[in-house]
Structure 1
Amino acid sequence: MDNKADKEKEILIIGGGIAGLSAGIYARKNGYAATILEQHDKPGGQLTAWNRNGYRFDFCLQWLCGTRHGVYHGIWNELGAIQPASTTTSVIDIVVDHEIFIKLVDESGEYGEFFVYADMDRWEAYLKNEVAPEDAQGIHKLCTMIKTCAKLDEFENPPGMRSLWDYACYLYKSWSVIPVIVRYLKKSIKELIDDLGLKNEKLRYVLTQFGQIGEDSELPALGLLMMLAFQHDKNAGYLKGGSAAMTQRVREEYEKLGGKFKFNAKVVEIVVENHSVVRGVKLENGERVLADHCISACDGHTVLYDMLGGGTYDVPSELKKPYEEWSVFTPLVMVAFGIDKTIVSDAHDIGYFSPKSKIQIGRTMADGYNIMNRSMYDDTLAPKGKTVLEIEFMSPWEIWETLSDDEYAQEKEDIKKRCIELLEKHYSGVSANLEVFDLATPRTTARVTGVWKGAYEGFVPGVNNLGTYLPTELDGLTNFSMAGQWVTPGGGLPPSAQSGRWAIQKLAKKDNKKFKH
């Protein structure tokens, strides 16, 4: 007869994206029985791709922080995310480091082309020689700061579980970066540009444009510096096989450890007893699933305002304020084309913008759009001799939330027609070779993943909240914790995976277990 004390603690994880998969893997490594409840028919969440007539359209992976070293790299290794597909394939064969991070093009012709090279020495020479020789001193300062920021790493342990030794090691490794953090953590890119004394109009405009991540939302100066630092350090590469292959590797690791899935299992309620104890969940089909502990690894707004107690939970002010006041990412439209022709682009990602007028794509008046050609360096995305081109642009949620079915269908047709025109503009004659078309709208994202307002990476990291960690355990509520993109501004794959790890670290500590990873 089983001794109850020897039974594995049952954990339910709501959401099978990277945060949920991470929580599941660490749960199994630490002796917990783990079941992931996923509303879709496969795991991955927004780390997803889909096949269409021999082509694969990738919704997510462009570059991944932690492909070479550091705390994030350690997490990816623990999850099996960057492990070779076979014993004859090395990690070097899987990771692609781009020479050009992005190419930007002014469609009006005023500012012409602008390259952002991944190597800061090369970028510095380019900026000094071809863009703004008059700003040589400021350019040197900028590129030096970016290279310095490459020394910055994440904490391995979560807030509240860091020792003095953790902080001492962090300071030792990051000492030279501290002045940059102090100076630019709460400053905008415009303030950075002014501090550097940059005068060249093109350089000033493009750097500001480069930091735009949403409607009226701008990446803080430190965020821009860190993003380019990862590129310079060759620690933010692309994984061949893209989102689908990465998800499959992590899924296999989870299942190898004995983790279980329940697909097509949409959670509508987190069952709370006596307003204080979480006992399990209720699914859309009426089924109740009980557990000793629940981890939400899905949309934070839905959890707090709809799921907990069936929408009766009194959301605390420290969580209510972000959802009421912080900006969220403007959702994306992704339009994908399978093309019966080999196309070589100047860069894997080309961003087109217009400083003096908006660019109309369907109902959206966009500041710009990007055309991505991942199949140049990933032959798993298209058959030999063929190409996948994807157009992405930001499109406010308000455009999509009230469309009728007929209006929605027409909008997709209008977007398709306009995007073919844009492809023809930059790749003349390409429309004659179009074989396959598909698109994902903000409504697609919300339907498949449940994400609030289609905000694919949650809260925008701004000067008011960069580096903030929201509570993941709620006062007065036991047997429950939160993970995923909504627990820290900026979201993305690395913080999501880290949040799943941290959720199990905290649980293991409560249960007096030595955390295993």
Structure 2
Amino acid sequence: MRDTDHNKEILIIGGGIAGLSTGIYAQKNGYQATILEMHDKPGGQLTAWVRNGYRFDYCLHWLVGTDHGTFNDIWWETGALDEDTIVINHDTRVKIKDEVHGDFYIYNDLDQWEAYLIDMAPEDQTAIEKMCQMMRDSDRLDQFEDAPGLRGISDYFQQVVSAGTFLLTLFRYGKKTTQELVDHLGFKNEKLLNFFHTFFGGQDFSAMGFLMMLGWAHAKNAGYLQGGSFEMAQRIERKFQGLGGKFLFNHRVIEILVENDRAIGVKLADGTVLKADYVISACDGHTALYEMLKAQYLPAQIKQAYDTWPLFSPLVMIGFGINDQIISECHSMSYIRKESRMIGRTPVREYSIWNRSMYDEVFAPAGKTTLLMQFESPWELWEHMEGTEYLDEKEAIRKAAIALLEEQYPGISNKIETIDIATPKTTVRYTGVYKGAYEGFLPSKDVLNGLPMELEGLENFMMVGQWLFPGGGLPPSAQSGKWAIQKLVNQEQKDFVVM
């Protein structure tokens, strides 16, 4: 691989959004980047697959940065957004049907949602108005453009100025949970308290995450990209390869090679050794640290994170191809049952069904519909399941999922043409993500700060991707790729190029 007459070479482990971003900025800044991807297609968890003409999308429902801000810049720079990309901003975020407390809507338009909440709970008008105003203000808080360690005083000053009044909210609730925020604002209405607790109160969900998520949507800065995950990944791959980047599919890395505390290359599963000037891990963080680097160069901060920080619970996704045009009450429906119901071995009280064919024609043939059902299922249930036991569990899920779907859409069973089930084992098999935690570490009041991109004592190596940032997701993953190349360019005392 090495060519002394060529630009410095970078090996990037993983072809998900972080690896693709890293590769694009590397090519723009004069490096020769090669992405090593264990799967046969780009995107990592930004993926979708087709079964009998129906497309089942694993990832993209909404994307921060579709209209403005630092993330928006990154999407244009990486090709995720282009002149032909259509952004859809839904009026309604989700309709919730609770067997005990009735229906509840979350609207993306905060003016509409505020009026809806006040009508439901007039006794909480003051608390509702304060909360919704915090959400509106949250869109003013943008992300830093430059990597940690490369920011000046002026960058921090600009951050303070742009945040405006939301800075006070950040100081007051930055380390609070959503439940603590709701309690502090003094909500009283029982139905409202129930929905806040059910949807945002569990697992110490961050108050900032709650406020900013709905603030972005209100500002039309968290829309859906028509075409979904597959089309977005394809656009970014074309950008990377158009810049001269190399993509090697079906290349699984098993070891990061180190000499004299310097990363010099990688070893593949088939024994092949590839060398380069830099190695950047854009794959699963736990795999890179504990397997590829054999737990060497492991700082206490990172070890503590993987030992103690909570993870997102894995998901089971059932895709239905329906031989009919189905119009749902809302494109995104969440159901909360009075009692848990067994879906296979998983007790399920909450589940969701998306009708993505209502707003994007790529998901089903004309006159037909793709429905996606999803619920959480703990990794411990799946970790050691193999062979016949695994197949039997998928069959049990199939039967139970059809029964649930029939409850919501009577008569639909006879119209099902295709069923596809993706389990936590599926996610791990195709992406390598640790314990099936699709977005890494769960953000909470005690888990907000990111992990370092560089490992003390190991040169010419960096990590990028969602495992560096509690809450994970596509935007910080892509941003970390940009930051990695900023750091390399700074080390070599060159000017960073984005276009």
For this structure pair, what is the TM-score category when the shorter chain's length is used for normalisation? over 0.9
Partner AA of 1:113 in structure 2 = D
SS in 1 for 2:95: strand
2:474 corresponds to 1:493 = yes
Partner AA of 1:174 in structure 2 = A
Pairing 1:305-316 to 2, within 5 Å after superposition? 305-308=290-293, 311=294, 313-316=296-299
Percent identity of the aligned residues?
A: 53
Alignment coverage as a number of residue pairs = 497
Please state how far the C-alpha of 1:135 moved relative to its aligned partner. Answer: 1.1
Corresponding position of 1:287 = 272
Pairing 1:328-339 to 2, within 5 Å after superposition? 328-339=311-322
Structure 2, unmatched stretches of 5+, are none
Please state how far the C-alpha of 1:372 moved relative to its aligned partner. Answer: 0.5
2:130 corresponds to 1:141 = yes
Pairing 1:60-459 to 2, within 5 Å after superposition? 60-84=59-83, 89=84, 91=85, 94-106=86-98, 108=99, 110-129=100-119, 131-211=120-200, 217-274=203-260, 276-308=261-293, 311=294, 313-354=296-337, 356-459=338-441
TM-score of the superposed pair, with normalisation by structure 1: 0.94
Can you list the C-alpha shifts for 1:333-372, whole angstroms capped at 9, x where unaligned?
Answer: 1100010111111222111113x53232111112311001
SS in 2 for 1:357: strand
Name the CA distance, whole Å, in 1 between partners of 2:65 and 2:363: 23
TM-score of the superposed pair, with normalisation by structure 2: 0.98
Contact 2:289 2:295 in 1 (8 A): no
Name the CA distance, whole Å, in 1 between partners of 2:175 and 2:451: 18
Name the CA distance, whole Å, in 2 between partners of 1:3 and 1:430: 60
- Report the CA distance shift for 1:194/1:509 in structure 2 as closer, same or farther (over 3 A): same
Can you list the C-alpha shifts for 1:147-180, whole angstroms capped at 9, x where unaligned?
Answer: 1112111111111111111112111111211011
Please state how far the C-alpha of 1:3 moved relative to its aligned partner. Answer: 9.8
Name the CA distance, whole Å, in 2 between partners of 1:146 and 1:127: 14
Name the CA distance, whole Å, in 2 between partners of 1:244 and 1:206: 33
Partner AA of 2:268 in structure 1 = L
Name the CA distance, whole Å, in 2 between partners of 1:509 and 1:474: 17
Deviating more after overlay: 131-140 vs 29-38: 131-140
Name the CA distance, whole Å, in 2 between partners of 1:187 and 1:332: 26
Can you list the C-alpha shifts for 1:392-443, whole angstroms capped at 9, x where unaligned?
Answer: 1010000001113111001101111111111111111111110111011000
Name the CA distance, whole Å, in 2 between partners of 1:440 and 1:469: 30
Corresponding position of 2:25 = 26
Contact 1:146 1:228 in 2 (8 A): yes
- Report the CA distance shift for 1:278/1:139 in structure 2 as closer, same or farther (over 3 A): same
Please state how far the C-alpha of 1:242 moved relative to its aligned partner. Answer: 0.3
What CA RMSD, in Å, does the superposition of the two structures yield over aligned residues?
1.3
Name the CA distance, whole Å, in 1 between partners of 2:67 and 2:297: 43
Name the CA distance, whole Å, in 1 between partners of 2:91 and 2:320: 25
SS in 2 for 1:367: strand
